[in-house]
Amino acid sequence: MKILKGRVAVVTGGAGGLGRAMAMHFAREGMHVAIADIDQASLDRTAGELRALGVNAIGVRTDVSKGDEVDALARRVVAELGGVHVVCNNAGVSPLGLAWENTIADWQWMLGVNLWGVIHGVRTFTPILLAQDEGHIVNTASVAGLINPPSSAMYNVTKHAVVALTETLYHDLGEQKSKVGCSVLCPAYVPTGIADSERNRPSELANPASVKKSPEQFAKEAMLQKAVRSGKLSADDIGAAVLAAVKEDRFYILTHPRIKGAIRARMEDILEGRQPRNPMSL
């Protein structure tokens, strides 16, 4: 999409981190913006910052794991902002753990936000964009959707699924001869609050008190928080990359070129029938 001014963008997980950065870049382009999140205070604050840029903006409390709430988000955006043109299915969480240590509650929470949130966004908003034969969808995956770091089974599973869903969406749109575009965002470490996403876990998906984290899991979480804080690119950098990809109709958004070596190594291991190498040691 070359012309964005006056159009409408929707960003889930939009009250902070990467989502907020995307929303701010869209607003600076003159787009009206709807942000969705479960943190009402942050929603109100970020929506005010967006309106201060001279555009219309609304914050809609939305649990993206629930299809009816995403449907309601779409209805409200169309009613209050007059339409939808760019959709960023961005909300995500990132608990860690050894593959056999993750509980059912862990899996339900991770799959609900990271995967079902994207599924609901695609299911709900794509027909709107198809009806007008114009628009762009950006699904946030991760480099963990292209490689498989240890102690991240749940995260890797959801992000690989988002990559697969988005690649398939691209082919499906192409077979329909649609002008609607799509992109998959695969960033590495970026200083955001995702490493602290446990604070937003729903109470009904909390682990029982009897479930204790292993010392290894505590250590991995500390390492993740340090890696996220030390990310070389900022959320604003990623927001700019997303804006550019939408304008250029570019599918893969790989923001950290150095990770391409690990991606290439994985592809080579598959094609050569080798045992998979640890991407964090390459």
Q: What is the pLDDT of residues 250-265, one digit of tens each?
A: 999 999 998 999 999 9
| H-helix or E-strand spanning residue 122 | helix 117-132
In a domain, 128, yes or no: yes
Please check the confidence at residue 223 and state whether its pLDDT lies above 90. no
In a domain, 245, yes or no: yes
Catalytic residue among 155, 170, 189, 252: 155
pTM of the complete model: 0.90
CB 108 within 8 A of CB 65: no
What pLDDT, on a 0 to 100 scale, did the predictor assign at position 222? Answer: 53
What pLDDT, on a 0 to 100 scale, did the predictor assign at position 229? Answer: 55
Domain span at residue 54? 8-281
CB 31 within 8 A of CB 9: yes
| 80-113 pLDDT, tens digit each | 999 999 999 999 998 788 899 899 999 999 999 9
In a domain, 2, yes or no: no
In a domain, 164, yes or no: yes
CA-angle at 196, arms to 192 and 201, nearest 5°:
125
Indicate which CATH number applies to the domain containing 74: 3.40.50.720
What pLDDT, on a 0 to 100 scale, did the predictor assign at position 233? Answer: 85
Strand 57-61: give its sheet, edge to edge. 57-61, 32-37, 8-12, 86-89, 136-140, 181-185, 252-253
| 158-193 pLDDT, tens digit each | 999 999 999 999 999 999 999 999 999 999 876 556
In a domain, 178, yes or no: yes
For the chain, what is the domain count? 1
In a domain, 176, yes or no: yes
CA nearest neighbour of 37 among 7, 54, 57: 57
In a domain, 1, yes or no: no
In a domain, 256, yes or no: yes
252 catalytically annotated: no
